[in-house]
Amino acid sequence: MGRGGTSKRGGKRQGKYTTSHSSYYEGGEPPAEGELSARDVRFQRGNKSSRGKRGEKRDQIDTTEKTVIPPAKKMKTAPKKLNDYGLLLKTLNPQYTQSSLRSKSNEEEEEEEEEDEEMDEEEEEMDEEAQEEEESEEEGDRLDELDKEREEEEMEEQRELERLKKEKEKAEEEDTVQLLDTNDHFSAMVIDRETSNEEMDEARSQLVSSLYKDDILGMVSIKGAKKVKKGVEARLEDIRMKPRLIKQWKSNRGVADAMTPLQARLLSHLDSYRDVYYSGYTPSLRREVRASWLLHVVNHVIKSRDQLLNNNATLNGMSEEERDRTLLKDQGFTRPSVLILCPFRNSALEIVREIIEITPEGDKKVIEGMEQLIEEYQEEEDRSQKWRPQDFQETFKGNTDDNFLCVDLTASVFSHDIIIASPLHLRMMIGSEGKDNNDDFLSSLQIVVVDQAEVINMQNWDHLIYVFQHLNLTPKTTKYTDFSRLKNYYINQGGKYSRQTIMLSEWMTPEMNSLWNRNTFSQMGMTKIRPIIAGGSIVTVATHVPQMFHKITSPSFLDAPEDRLRHFTEEVLPKLLNGSEQKILIFITSYMDFVRLRNHMNKEKIEFGRCSEYSSGKTAKISFDFFWNGDTQFLLYTERYHFYFRRKMKMMERLIFYGVPQVPHFYSELVNGMNSTGNVSVYYTQWEKLALERIVGEDRAERMIQGSKATHLFT
């Protein structure tokens, strides 16, 4: 209650004085204005001290209920000094005595004190209410700001989703050839905490995309937490490399810098721990590129091992109580942290040799058991293959067994940091789908490398897909797990977000893009690198024969095989049967297309020879003999068979590419075996842009896909 209100005892207050004080000078006159006795002064000071600053402030506030009377007027209206005014009243009214006035004054002073206390309590309540109102207003303002920010975030997220949707539609229209993918990646963030997978996926919109041309690497597409400088090169000292590893690397090379420009550019991307897809992995560059990513792998393993050993030493120097209070998160479910997938034992042998060469003497524990693999995997060179092309000799030299696992035979797979294996062997180890799979040793991988993906694609791509589906899963047993040192994101099934995937291929295919888009989740983003294709393999054709490219329109990727078969059997095959041409070789890219066309020709009772990757040696020999002798008009010939056997095809009268070859130099190789009077036909759809670019170049492929013309002639 304010000072202008009514007290609980019924008196109307004037400031600090009630109307009951008028009885003190009833029948007489109050003191003159400005005359204050010593008691007045003490009373005024006492009121100020008891009320404090809040009371003084309220005296100066003009409330809506009553007007506060200034202190000077209050003292003139109701003086209460006992000694002075007691004598005055005694003179005017003899019946009052000093003692009676004093007792009455004491009672009224007690009432005054009670009223003062009540008033102070009321003032405190009012202050609290005002403070609560201010806090509620501030809280309301803060909630309004949060609502506004939330609305802005929702609008921004909606705009980002619309942008991503447009990019995805555009990429689908262009046969996924655009490098700015909208796949499962997200911004860099600390995940060594309890973070849900949904929170990880929500952060993908924060990635920054950039696409630029690099003079050394080619076209580089990056999605990461921050933009990357174009053409940035790394030095060994700048990429968080272990000093002893730098010393070992330089001593092996014998030069000061010891890095080529290509290795420097690649290491700048690999060291960021983004997922890296490099599609310029040609045989001439294979050793140079392989050395750079193996340097990154060995550096990662040594750093992880040093951290583990340092933490072990720290814990050994602590008491039992200190160990219980110390949290050192430096392990996964199992020890293997690096998986290298390669097609043949000869590739694994080259990788093992390079790892042994890179690893310093003091860290040989990392490669324990690898030395004995050199003698096991080594095989004498087969000189009978010298007549075959250089790329064939490079791929199939040495041991070409595709079922292997590079580990110490005397130890378990769980006791190795690096596992080198083929997709076929891992699939056999994991087991069949639907059963209890043995994939616990793949639960804590931090780096996965797919070496020579184009060769694995010629083996069985399903094996590789199956292996990726079993990476970084929660293990079924915890026999090899130390939960006191287990990183948090493994518990939350977030291990895939800390995994870096490195895929290396000589060229890019839709199968590789699909695997990449569905199974790469690095928290740091992704990098796609591919060479710029100017002229294509058609410029290496030496035989001057007409080469006609026919476009087959297909509304969807799934309908393309049936649309191609319908066009060929209705428009092309009848003309070939009625014509006079013999020795017609039909080159088929996919085995499924081979089966479709074979079944149709069997149904129509057309005589033909067949050579596929599943044909026996005897069947293939008979088919070729009949074809060269002119006993059969057609020979169905698959790309995978040509990849493994590389027969010399000569004196063909007609060469038909049922689809665009995935291996670009197969085109020029087969066309150069034509008769000078022969001709070539190539049938393609808009879904084969990647392969078509490697044949005719990027610019011409773009015009052939987007243009309205259905045929294009090259001579």
Mean pLDDT by 10 residues, the chain (715 residues): 41 40 44 48 45 44 44 43 44 47 62 78 80 78 77 76 66 36 29 52 64 80 67 65 86 72 89 92 92 94 90 86 82 92 93 89 71 68 72 88 77 83 94 79 94 95 95 88 86 86 95 92 89 90 92 91 94 90 92 95 93 91 90 94 90 92 94 87 94 93 92 89
In a domain, 630, yes or no: yes
In a domain, 72, yes or no: no
Residues 650 and 691 in one domain: yes
Residues 671 and 562 in one domain: yes
Q: What is the CATH number of the domain that holds 561?
A: 3.40.50.300
In a domain, 37, yes or no: no
Residues 383 and 443 in one domain: yes
pLDDT of residue 388: 84
Tell me the two tokens of residue 81.
């000094």
In a domain, 123, yes or no: no
User: Which residue reads 């310093």 in tokens?
Assistant: 360
Phi, psi for 344 (deg, rounded to 5) = -130, 165
In a domain, 391, yes or no: yes
Is the pTM value of this prediction over 0.85?
no
Residues 633 and 662 in one domain: yes
Residues 306 and 423 in one domain: yes
Residues 510 and 580 in one domain: no
* Last residue of one domain, picked from the residues 530, 549, 580: 530
SS3 603: helix
Domain count, the chain: 2
pLDDT of residue 177: 29
In a domain, 67, yes or no: no
Residues 456 and 562 in one domain: no
State the SS3 of 27-57. Answer: CCCCCCCCCCCHHHHHHHHHHHHHHHHHHHH
Residues 577 and 558 in one domain: yes
CA distance readout (Å), 610 to 46, 288, 379, 565, 649: 117, 40, 33, 17, 14
Q: What is the DSSP letter of 259?
A: -
In a domain, 330, yes or no: no
CA distance 332 to 334: 5
Residues 503 and 550 in one domain: no
pLDDT of residue 692: 94
CA distance 242 to 58: 72
Residues 430 and 566 in one domain: no
Residues 638 and 518 in one domain: no
Judged on CB neighbours under 10 Å (0-12, 13-18, 19+), 375 is exposed
Q: Are 210 and 241 in contact (CB under 8 A)?
A: no
Full residue range of the structural domain in which residue 689 is found? 537-714
* Last residue of one domain, picked from the residues 466, 497, 530: 530
* Last residue of one domain, picked from the residues 464, 497, 530: 530
CA distance 570 to 108: 120
In a domain, 191, yes or no: no
Residues 492 and 545 in one domain: no
Instruction: Give the DSSP per-residue string, 119-170.
Output: HHHHHHHHHHHHHHHHHHHHHHHHHHHHHHHHHHHHHHHHHHHHHHHHHHHH
